Amino acid sequence: MFAVSVRPASPADLPAPSVKLTEGWHCLHLYYRIDQRAWLDLAPAERIRGCEIVSHLLDPDRPGAPARLQTSVVSGHKGDLALMLMDADPLLLDGIRQGIRSSPLGSVLILAWSFVSLTEVSEYVPTVDQYAERLRTEGVSPEDAAYQAKVNAYRQRLPMMNRQRLMPDFPAWPATCFYPMNKIRDPHANWYAESFSYRSKLMAEHATSGIKFAGRVSQLITASTGLDDWEWGVTLWARNPADLKDIVYTMRFDEASARYAEFGPFYVSYIMPVDEALAHLQLT
């Protein structure tokens, strides 16, 4: 048995310490509830000033705004106002939270729940070579013209798909849903004890189910392992709330979900500009 000596990386070989990401974005979901007594206790001038400050903070087009900022009103008792924030700098995102807290509405908008995560390209997204191998496994011959056409199309599509995973654009659809999830470690169904090839096969099946909802639902998976109490966050946007129900129901029959998934609370909300959201919540 020979010991292998590995030279520690020199500080000169490492990037400078920073909280900013060099690839992808930080993601912060915030869910607020309204303290009605605190609202009634505010003087009229404080109400007006508080709404002006919050409206400015949550304007996605203002100078210094996060790369992505979306406001929505929550359906049900879990909250009233929802924010989804994304940027390479996590302190820019936290600045939104602190700005609301320190405004006259800081006693009115009470943070009920939050979720911290990062965008990522999943390890289960196949490279071009892995995609080509999958085609061969499915019986498509490399000599077949369709084989090269599919591989070339995937090669052209992959950079755009990965960019959307790392720095996503939000669809202009009215309904959104967020929930956290884990892959379970049950002794009879331990995701982390399965081989990578088996896990990849199950995730490919899962993705195929989701593709059926193209044009109706858009999905973003963000990673929270080591950052929050769950391992991933799932954000869905839909043309219609019924589409949210349909895709979650359909995909729960996939083995990756039916056997290995554990889900947290679901937050459903309806997207609107901040001024419309404040008016809907009767804070103007």
Residue 172 has pLDDT above 60, yes or no: yes
Domain with CATH 3.30.70.1030 in the chain: 26-119+272-280
Mean of per-residue pLDDT scores for the chain: 94
For 19-44, the three-class secondary structure string (H helix, E strand, C coil) is CCCCCCCEEEEEEEEECHHHHHHCCH
Residue 24 has pLDDT above 70, yes or no: yes
Task: Write the pLDDT tens digit of every residue in 187-203.
Answer: 889 999 999 999 999 99
Tokens 């189910």 locate to 209
Residue 218 has pLDDT above 60, yes or no: yes
DSSP 78: T
Residue 68 has pLDDT above 60, yes or no: yes
Residue 258 has a pLDDT of: 95
- Highest mean pLDDT: which of 125-129, 141-145, 160-164, 172-176? 172-176
Q: What is the pTM of this model?
A: 0.91
Residue 21 has pLDDT above 90, yes or no: yes
Reported confidence tier of residue 283, pLDDT bands at 50, 70, 90:
very high
Residue 30 has a pLDDT of: 98
- 71 touches 58 (CB < 8 A): yes
Residue 272 has a pLDDT of: 98
- 280 touches 203 (CB < 8 A): no
The arithmetic mean of pLDDT across residues 146-160, rounded, is 92
Query: Which CATH number among 3.40.50.970, 3.40.50.720, 3.40.50.11540, 3.30.70.1030 corresponds to the domain 26-119+272-280?
Result: 3.30.70.1030
Residue 4 has pLDDT above 70, yes or no: no
Residue 240 has pLDDT above 70, yes or no: yes
Q: How many CA atoms lie within 13 A of 187 on its CB side?
A: 0
Residue 217 has a pLDDT of: 97
Residue 137 has a pLDDT of: 86
Beta strands in the chain (DSSP E): 26-34, 68-74, 81-87, 109-119, 175-183, 185-186, 189-190, 217-223, 232-238, 261-263, 267-271
Angstrom distance (rounded) from CA 151 to CA 127: 10
Please list the active-site residues: 179
